[in-house]
Structure 1
Amino acid sequence: MNFTIEKQLKHKSIRKFQNKEVEKETLDTLFQVANRTASSIAMQSYSMIRITDKDMKKKLSEICKQDYIKDFPEIVIFIVDVYRNARISEEKGEDLPHKKDMDRFFQGFTDGVLASQNMVNAIESLDMGTVYLGSILNDPQAIVDLLELPRLTFPIVGLGFGYPDQEPTLKPRMDVSLKLFENKYKKQDNYLESIKEYDKEMKQYYDLRNEDKPLDEFSKQVVAVLEIKNEKRSKLLNVVKSQGFNLKIED
């Protein structure tokens, strides 16, 4: 097994970092790695916003409802960015209606996700730690306002990283057989039976966010998560639409 795969198989989310800056040369390299990521039809319809202002980090932590974010050495927000190519076409004298369609939106969304994962792989190869911030979508409009995002852009995911100041144990994952199928989707006759061993494993895992109590069984976590109703997240498409994208939803 090579070095890269070893690192990927040991991936852990890190939420506490040393009070140590990431060197400029290292940052430049990481952003070049993101920049070289595969992109749908080479349109590169995403951008990255590095958050360095302390007040903005604090506001971001409030939106995400995760106080520790304000102390992260580095935060990068990946966004759908169709605005740039729309402007290029407009400056070429074209006002093309398809620039707003959902195909362009999902191209940018996918490009940004791929770039973020590429960057994570590079960061971890340098013995630094990372954590994804899906919580930026707790209030997408607040993120749009905070980052002053123009039309035809939309936040995708945040990434915090730096030199780790904690060593969490490896979090269990369900068996790959429940996620890997051949030729067609495979339904399980009884999912609770299929994840029985995984439920037991999860009960023995202690998350560093609550070191005194092991996590519940995965099946209980599923129910707990699906019980949560976040009005703002459930209306994400309204913000996508207000950012100028044409949803074209048909009844």
Structure 2
Amino acid sequence: MTAGGRIRVLLVDDDALVRTGLRLMLGGAPDLEVVGDTADGVDVADAVTRLRPDVVLMDVRMPLLDGIAATRGIRSRAGHRPVVIVLTTFDADATVVEALRAGAAGFLLKHTPPERIVDAVRRAAAGEPVLSPSVARTLIERVAGGGGPTEDRRQQARKRFALLTEREREVARAVAAGLSNADIAARLYLSVGTVKAYVSSALARLELTNRIQLALLTHDAED
């Protein structure tokens, strides 16, 4: 963030009108600062190095390098790694799921109301999940409805899932069901703080970046 505490945002979209609209929308929030924009994923690595954004709003489809590959590049780079929110036109688009697997914190539809986009940027910068429990649940259901994971991915997921402690697996299953931390705490008779600790330890043990990836891996392991 800037010295004044503002959240630095990078816009990545091949549609100039979308970039302009997002810049105007986010520029109206006193705690947000759009530090730059680019029209293609191929330019993201350089922009992240130069501008050091806290959050990247990333389009999925772009001419040279798509948002999935660009997101994967951000999450695997050394040094500064901003949070990525994927922007998409279709919430059922299978490429969105792949972007989440690549490390995006969540996704937003391009016609999402301005106040919700601003709120999502703030929450992502604070390390909170961008997807609401209901949206996360819908996403997992759509993944399940897409024919399920391949046998190789299922076996790999089961091996990784087995690395978790029994309590971490219980929490991971609840995350995959789309439950909030408060709901998980009530179900498992834990405090919210303890639930957060279990989520964090599961992510660290599995080398994942966010709870959406944890939900997807849990689904693959128990499909």
Give the alignment's TM-score, normalised by structure 2: 0.28
**TM-score, length-normalised on structure 1?**
0.26
Task: Write 1 or 2 for the structure with the bigger share of helix.
Answer: 2
